[in-house]
Amino acid sequence: MTFVAENVVKRFPGVLALDGATLRLEDGTVHALLGENGAGKSTLIKVVTGVYRPDGGRLLISDGPSALREVQFSGPHDSQRAGIGVVHQERNLIPAFSVAENIALQALPQRRGFVSRAAMFELAGRCLDHLDVGLDLHSPVEGLSVAHKQLVEIAKALAVDSSVLLLDEPTASLTTDEAERLFTVVRRLRDHGRAVVLVSHKLEEVFAIADTVTVLRDGRSVTEAQPLRDFTRAQIVDLMVGREYTEVETTSRRVDRSALPVIELEDVSTRAGHRDVSLHVHRGEIVGLYGLVGAGRTELARCILGLDRITAGSVRVNGAPARIRGVTAALHRFRIGYVTENRKEEGLFLDQPISRNVAVTVWRRLARAGLVRSKGERALVEQYREQLGMRIRGPRQLAGELSGGNQQKVSLAKWLAADCDILVIDEPTVGIDVRTKAAFHDLIVKLADTGIAILLITSDLPEMVALADRIAVMKDYVIVGELDNNHRYDTTSQAVIRMIHDGTAA
Amino acid sequence: MSATIKDTYARRVRTFARGSESVLITTSVIGFVVLASTTHGNLLTRGTLTAIFQFLAVPVIVGLAQMVVLGVGQMNLSVGVLTGFCSMVAAWLMIRLGVPAWLAVVGAVGVGAMAGLINGVIVVLTRINGFIVTLATMTIIDGLRYGINGTSTFQGYSPSLVRFGKGSSLGVPNVFLVAMAVAALVAVFFRRTVAGRRLLASGGNPLAARLSGVSNDRSIVIAHMISGLLAGVAGVLEVALSGSVNATIGDDLLLPSFAAPIIGGVALAGGVISVLGTCLAAFIMRMVDVARAQYSIDPSWVDVIIGVVVLGAVLLTQLRHRGGGPR
Amino acid sequence: MRTAEHCASIVDHLDEDGQGAAKPVHGRAIPFWANPRFGLVVVIAVLIVVFSALRSAFLNVDLSLVPMQADLSVFVVVGLAQMAVLSLGHMNLAVPRMAAISAFAMGWSYQHLSVPLWLGLVIGLAVGALVGALAGWIITATGVNSFVVTLALDFALVGVVSLLYSQVGDGVAFSVHPAGMQTLRNGTFADYCAGSVCGPPVPVVVPIALGAAVLVGLLFFSVRAGREMLMTGSNANAAQLSGIATTRRIVQAHALSGMLAALAGFILAVNNGSFSADIGKSFLLPSFLGPVLGGTALAGGAVSVVGTILGATLTEVIQAGLNLLQFSIQQLNIYIGGVLLVALSADRARQLLAERRAQRS
């Protein structure tokens, strides 16, 4: 069959996520869907799988000989019935159920209300055979490795006889070997006539396995269903990033490296799995920590904050050894702030007013005779509303009502209010439109100019090249390389990508 | 092929050995033996044994009634008072309306199922926390019990029903046989039927269940309805066993209804149930009660011990399944 | 990395027919007549009018209004006890027995240590706080949810309290009463006159309850500890990552709950005239009625002291009115339970309307 998502438009409050994106799928192909963070890949997938309803454009299906007809999905169930299967980034399995039952859950073979167990195991077995994978059908899914869980998810999609299979960052938590085995499966699926859509950040994977490619940028398809062999990797990156971006030359900032680093990690190993990580950030410096999903960067930040254990090596703040036991100590004693990557789950209190969201870190300071005055909170909000350009109705507005960009500003304001010396900023511009993104970049540089030491974690390479004074590259929980940033995208991005491919421990 | 079957059994035995059910069986057996020997065989007289198992029937069913909603991640605070209410309904039907026993039984169980259905529908429609909804319905039904016959007792109904309730078949008390049959049906429901598997899917991972086309709302309503139905069955057994009922029945059934499944290894977050565990836990609690009587221990100690055991059981279940429910 | 966000947005969308666990995010300020607290005031006023029309004795100062205020004082403090942990999104099912064991400690001190009234109260509050802190500690140390921990604790404490009274106490109640208790029990401010102007017919226990309410309100509104408790209830992860010592706040909130339960037990004992084993027995339902009717969210992050007082008042008015109309206790239960359901459904309907209006804008 053929499936087309044509000129899809999707709006959210404050953000135009998709602005005419087109995806054209044919049987028997592996189709790569590429784009930078925030380009709209996730949103497009959600429209295709029926999770979101498009505000514009249409979805079309044709079963072989017949003409394309328009379809509408009112929910995930509809898209499944139309033959679209999806394997999301995160696992959606019933932990206590067996492998077979998870696979067959959507289409449980039954007779008069009773589960036909024999038929169920047979169905599950067939799906796994199709993937050429041997798993114990009876074992509960909660005990499986991440890779095996992912295979169960794929088998699930096969159980409902999907003609289209969407894989969203499938190798995010897999080792190279496991990924290789997954791709064998993908090739087999393609050879059996299915259409496989691969969403991935890892270009080497894409070039190894995909036949055709669609590139999204700013919610639009800049390249539609072209044969991948017509492109070089550099050309694809250019398409993803857009020529204009590489033209912008940021001048190198002058950083005073004569004094002791404000924060220094030396040969740090952690319980999370890091080995011999060494990093340092000077006053007023922006050090970027780059890596792909699963590299261990956020986990390192959490260890710095005392949320996970450091098993070897030393952490020094302003030259003195520091045992950071938790976020409270990190903030109030060592003046380290952490702007989290998931602002909704970890950065904001969605049902609380903006004033509380911003002032929560500084109530100690605002309190007079033990009582916190609302006036102080409001003044704080006003200050940052101006400085950051927040578009809010007032300090009493609830944080959950704001657009993504404004929410991120509130999240940042909270840490600015805390007057930190060291700021760890984790993926600051995910899901934020281009204009606000540029404003944030300006802001981060200005913050560094005031003397704050910034550790910037981002997987947005252009953002990294624009902002960082130095870039450390992390892969599989070790640092594989470090370089000074000349702010030239072509050379620096090549160097970084090479470090990720070649590097084991630096 | 035979190798696979042997593997399957081997794996099943291993899982069983590691699970809480084996701990409970061991505890039950050891406890029973200890009790029997230290009371110089008093325990093994026909009268005592009969009493033990007769008074085990209602706690088992009430525990199962709670277990069913726990499986979908809910709870039913009205289980205890609903049992009493259904008892009164059954007795009322027989005495005031002269209805034959079997019809009264059906009526009472039907009332229970209806009450459970209403609980489930309210939870789903209003999206209010099941705890608060059943707290409210518990209060209502608490009062309704007294609306049937005030504080007076119903007695002298259907001698055949009472004969059945107090009697035994092949040496096993009838009410206990009924309870075991019900337990078996519940076990089959959760292990073999589509509705039961879907219910556990909703409890185990509502999002995943939703994505697989399972209706979580329907699971919740079905769970509450079965819970009410089982409370009705418990009520009927009370009527049969005791020969006289009044509105206080059910006052002391709420906490045991939680204790049995929790000690039996049922996860509070939903998705994991154990019929065997619930029955064994009820048996163990009954043993503790018997021991208390035999050794004249202050009943308050029993409460303390059970409270501590419940806490320990939740902790163990949590460690095993890594899920403790909401904060 | 974007995993959680991805997942969360699926959940946001599916919440339409999923299990509404999302906290309601209200839009613009609603007009004052739609404010739930105002609604409560109206309902209370209407009920007072109706009851006094049906039974003029409802408004009799000595026989009706004064005892009502005394009972209300207990309900208010009990509601505050539950509200204290609702701030975290937790529940305290051991409120009844925390009150009971504190009452035991107070009664025992009066009887065997002959302490003055105020000191006995302090001892009781300390015991309540300790037991509450124990619950909070178990919750944070084991990660088991508050419902189960406090349920098990209540169960265990039933036994402990009973044992204490039978082994250490003298039967089921203490007979010795400290000086001043009689005044607290029977006195109203009308007994105190300056010249010809006498105080209002308000029982002396009322200021105790009101004082507690003011302090608790101050705690959650202005004191850093209380605010951090609310933030922990709003989003425990974000709270921890914002530098809040969440473990400490959880233990403190539960300790506060225990302390307030003890205070409620004290007021009840004063009203009844003795410290006995069944103090606290009927506290569980009222502990939820006050806050829930008053608009405190079960999910945590927002509490309302005024709402709790109004909720408790509504409960008391209904109870007193139905009592006067000679409804039995059991009939009372039917109506109270019904009121809870209706109030919750109405509140939920209001939330849905507010959300729909916000979406459209």
Tell me which chain C residue has its CA closest to the CA of residue B207: C11
As a whole number of angstroms, the distance between CA C298 and CA C85 comes to 9
* Widest distance between CA atoms in chain A: 79
* pLDDT bracket for residue A228 (50, 70, 90): confident
Which sequence spans correspond to the domains of chain A? 2-245, 247-335+420-502, 349-419
- Residue window 97-116, chain C: list those with CB within 8 Å of chain A: none
- Residue window 270-309, chain C: list those with CB within 8 Å of chain A: 301-302
* pLDDT bracket for residue C18 (50, 70, 90): very low
- Supply the pLDDT for residue A174: 73
* pLDDT bracket for residue B218 (50, 70, 90): very high
Instruction: Confirm or reject contact between A108 and chain B (CB < 8 A).
Output: yes
CA distances from C75 to A100, A269, C98, C256, C283 (A): 54, 55, 15, 16, 8
Q: Which residues of A touch C3 (CB under 8 A)?
A: 89-90, 172
| CB C290 within 8 Å of CB C312 | yes
A289-319: pLDDT as tens digits: 998 777 889 899 999 999 888 999 999 999 8
Read off φ and ψ for residue C178, nearest 5 degrees: -75, 160
Q: Does B315 sit within 8 Å of C145, measured CB to CB? A: no
Q: Does A414 sit within 8 Å of C234, measured CB to CB? A: no
Choosing among C17, C155, C247, C348, which should be mutated to test the B contact, i.e. which has the most B CBs within 10 A? C155
C246-265: pLDDT as tens digits: 999 999 999 999 999 999 99
Q: Greater confidence, A211 or C21?
A: A211
Tell me if A2-245 shares its fold with A247-335+420-502.
yes
- Supply the pLDDT for residue C4: 35
* pLDDT bracket for residue C19 (50, 70, 90): very low
* pLDDT bracket for residue B255 (50, 70, 90): confident
As a whole number of angstroms, the distance between CA A442 and CA A248 comes to 13
Report the alpha-carbon angle A393-A397-A399, nearest 5: 115
Residue from the list C7, C143, C153 with its beta carbon closest to the beta carbon of B307 = C153
A-B C-beta contacts closer than 8 Å: 61
Tell me which chain A residue has its CA closest to the CA of residue C358: A401
A-C C-beta contacts closer than 8 Å: 128
Percent of chain A with pLDDT over 90: 28
pLDDT of C20 strictly over 50: no
A8-32: pLDDT as tens digits: 998 876 667 888 899 988 888 999 9
CA dihedral A383, A388, A392, A396 (to 10 degrees): -40
Residue from the list A76, A101, A115 with its beta carbon closest to the beta carbon of B193 = A115
Q: For residue B151, what are the contacts with CB-CB under 8 A and spacing of at least 6? A: B246, B247
Tell me which chain A residue has its CA closest to the CA of residue C241: A327
- Supply the pLDDT for residue C10: 38
Q: Measure in Å the smallest separation between the Cα of B259 and chain C Cα atoms.
A: 9
As a whole number of angstroms, the distance between CA A1 and CA A10 comes to 25
Which sequence spans correspond to the domains of chain B? 56-251
Q: Which one-letter amino acid corresponds to residue A471? A: I
* Pick from A295-309, C19-33, C152-166: least confident: C19-33
* pLDDT bracket for residue C129 (50, 70, 90): very high
C272-317: pLDDT as tens digits: 888 888 899 889 989 999 998 888 888 889 999 999 999 999 999 9
Q: Does C300 sit within 8 Å of B303, measured CB to CB? A: no
As a whole number of angstroms, the distance between CA B272 and CA B204 comes to 7
Q: Which residues of C touch B141 (CB under 8 A)?
A: 337
- Supply the pLDDT for residue A370: 77
Domains defined for chain C, CATH in brackets: 37-42+60-345 (1.10.3470)
| CB A407 within 8 Å of CB A339 | no
* pLDDT bracket for residue B18 (50, 70, 90): low
Q: Which residues of A touch C237 (CB under 8 A)?
A: 345-346
Q: Which residues of B touch C295 (CB under 8 A)?
A: none
- Supply the pLDDT for residue C3: 34
CATH assignment, A247-335+420-502:
3.40.50.300
Helix-helix angle C95-108:C66-86, to 10 degrees: 120
Tell me which chain B residue has its CA closest to the CA of residue C20: B127
* pLDDT bracket for residue B6 (50, 70, 90): low
Residue from the list C161, C166, C331 with its beta carbon closest to the beta carbon of B143 = C331
Sign of CA dihedral A318, A319, A320, A323: positive
Q: Measure in Å the smallest separation between the Cα of B8 and chain C Cα atoms.
A: 34
Q: Does B207 sit within 8 Å of C330, measured CB to CB? A: no
Choosing among A49, A114, A121, which should be mutated to test the B contact, i.e. which has the most B CBs within 10 A? A114
* pLDDT bracket for residue C1 (50, 70, 90): very low
Q: Which residues of A touch B211 (CB under 8 A)?
A: 76, 92
Q: For residue B106, what are the contacts with CB-CB under 8 A and spacing of at least 6? A: none
- Supply the pLDDT for residue B10: 60
A253, with CB counted inside 10 A (0-12, 13-18, 19+), is middle
Choosing among C16, C85, C144, which should be mutated to test the B contact, i.e. which has the most B CBs within 10 A? C144
- Supply the pLDDT for residue B4: 52
- Supply the pLDDT for residue B110: 97
A118-152: pLDDT as tens digits: 999 999 998 888 777 788 899 889 888 877 888 88
pLDDT of C5 strictly over 70: no
Find the mean pLDDT for residues C159-177: 80
Which range among A230-239, C43-52, C197-206 has the greatest average pLDDT? C43-52
pLDDT of C336 strictly over 70: yes
Structure tokens at A229: 């062999």
As a whole number of angstroms, the distance between CA B273 and CA B200 comes to 8
Run of H or E including C95: helix C95-108
Choosing among B188, B191, B205, which should be mutated to test the A contact, i.e. which has the most A CBs within 10 A? B205
* pLDDT bracket for residue A503 (50, 70, 90): low
Q: Measure in Å the smallest separation between the Cα of C176 and chain B Cα atoms.
A: 25
Instruction: Confirm or reject contact between C7 and chain A (CB < 8 A).
Output: yes
Find the mean pLDDT for residues A147-172: 84
Choosing among A146, A171, A199, A327, which should be mutated to test the C contact, i.e. which has the most C CBs within 10 A? A327
As a whole number of angstroms, the distance between CA A350 and CA A341 comes to 15
Run of H or E including C3: helix C3-14
Q: C11-49: b or e for each residue (b if 16 or more CB lie within 10 Å)? A: eebbeeebbbebbbbbbeeeeeeeebbebbeebbeebbe
- Supply the pLDDT for residue A251: 67
Helices (H), A360-403: 363-366, 374-388
Chain B: partners with 3+ C-beta pairs within 8 Å = A, C
As a whole number of angstroms, the distance between CA C313 and CA C323 comes to 15
Could you write out the three-class secondary structure of B16-54?
HHHCHHHHHHHHHHHHHHHHHHHCCCHHHCHHHHHHHHH
Instruction: Confirm or reject contact between A149 and chain B (CB < 8 A).
Output: no
- Four-way CATH pick for A2-245: 1.20.1090.10, 3.40.50.150, 3.40.50.300, 3.40.50.2300: 3.40.50.300
- Residue window 216-245, chain C: list those with CB within 8 Å of chain A: 218, 222-224, 227-228, 230-231, 234-235, 237-245
Q: Which residues of B touch A76 (CB under 8 A)?
A: 210-211
Q: Does B200 sit within 8 Å of A94, measured CB to CB? A: yes
Q: Which residues of A touch B217 (CB under 8 A)?
A: none
Q: Whose CA is closest to B182, among B93, B77, B279?
A: B279
Instruction: Please give the mean pLDDT across all residues of chain C.
Output: 83
Structure tokens at A163: 């003609």
As a whole number of angstroms, the distance between CA A171 and CA A38 comes to 20
- Supply the pLDDT for residue B278: 95
Instruction: Confirm or reject contact between B66 and chain C (CB < 8 A).
Output: no
- Supply the pLDDT for residue A46: 85
- Supply the pLDDT for residue B299: 77
C205-215: pLDDT as tens digits: 899 999 999 99
Q: Which one-letter amino acid corresponds to residue A399? A: A
Q: Measure in Å the smallest separation between the Cα of B12 and chain A Cα atoms.
A: 9
Q: Does C10 sit within 8 Å of A51, measured CB to CB? A: yes
Q: Greater confidence, A98 or C23?
A: A98
B27-66: pLDDT as tens digits: 888 888 888 887 777 777 778 888 889 999 999 999 999 9
Read off φ and ψ for residue C201, nearest 5 degrees: -75, 65
Q: Measure in Å the smallest separation between the Cα of A92 and chain B Cα atoms.
A: 5
Q: For residue B107, what are the contacts with CB-CB under 8 A and spacing of at least 6? A: B89, B90, B93, B99
* pLDDT bracket for residue C197 (50, 70, 90): confident
Q: Which one-letter amino acid corresponds to residue A175? A: T
A396, with CB counted inside 10 A (0-12, 13-18, 19+), is middle
As a whole number of angstroms, the distance between CA A371 and CA C218 comes to 8
Q: Which residues of A touch B268 (CB under 8 A)?
A: none
Q: C87-107: b or e for each residue (b if 16 or more CB lie within 10 Å)? A: bbbbbbbbbbbbbbbbbbbbb
As a whole number of angstroms, the distance between CA B251 and CA B143 comes to 12
Percent of chain C with pLDDT over 70: 88
Structure tokens at A59: 């979805």
- Supply the pLDDT for residue B1: 38
Q: Which residues of B touch A139 (CB under 8 A)?
A: 11
As a whole number of angstroms, the distance between CA C171 and CA A112 comes to 61
Find the mean pLDDT for residues A57-66: 82
Residue from the list C7, C152, C336 with its beta carbon closest to the beta carbon of B311 = C152
Could you write out the three-class secondary structure of A415-482?
HHHCCCCEEEEECCCCCCCHHHHHHHHHHHHHHHHCCCEEEEECCCHHHHHHHCCEEEEEECCEEEEE
Sign of CA dihedral A204, A205, A211, A216: negative
A437-460: pLDDT as tens digits: 778 888 899 899 999 999 999 887
- Residue window 341-360, chain A: list those with CB within 8 Å of chain B: none
